[in-house]
Amino acid sequence: MKTQNINWGYFFKHWIFTLIIGPIIAQIISLLALLLNYQSVGLLEMFPIIFVVSIIFSIPTYIAYAFVYHHFSSKNTSSLTLKIILISLTIIGIFITTAFIEGNISYFIALSYSISSIISGLVFDLKYRPEE
């Protein structure tokens, strides 16, 4: 079986940048959409708290992500296919996690973090290095 060295840098970049960009996208969406003014919670004003809480809530999703990421490292999967799988898994995890949050804002948060995950997942390179 052909094994490859895993680029764990992609894993951490995708995770951290999804959590950083999510509140920014939420703020942009709430400022652009006049109908969502009541949801302009100000995630940027509370960014340090939001970031820590986001890390805690995202741990289960990224544990599953790490297992899938490691599993596909031994497969002959293209980078684009693996990115699509990982981003989809992240989006599913985001919606499951935000389902535990009560209120109208949970869908709004899930949408902004999903957009963030798509952007950060596609921007970074997923490179495997064949094992010698």
The residue type of 41 is V
Residue 132 within a domain: no
Is 57 domain-assigned?
yes
Listed in order, strand segments (DSSP E) in 24-122 are none
Residue 7 lies in a domain: no
Residue 41, H or E segment: none
22 in a structural domain? yes
In a domain, 130, yes or no: no
What are the angstrom distances between the C-alpha of 27 and each of 5, 18, 32, 62, 132?
38, 14, 9, 24, 47
The tens place of each residue's pLDDT in the chain, 132 residues long, gives 444 567 788 889 999 999 999 988 888 877 776 555 554 556 667 888 888 988 999 999 999 999 998 888 777 778 888 899 999 999 999 999 988 887 777 888 899 999 999 999 999 887 755 444
Owning domain of residue 70: 13-125
Asked if residue 108 belongs to a domain, the reply is: yes
Classify residue 5: in a domain, yes or no: no
Q: Would residue 101 count as lying in a domain?
A: yes
Report pTM. Answer: 0.83
Contacts of 109 (CB under 8 A, 6+ apart): 22, 26, 98, 101
Count of structural domains, the chain = 1
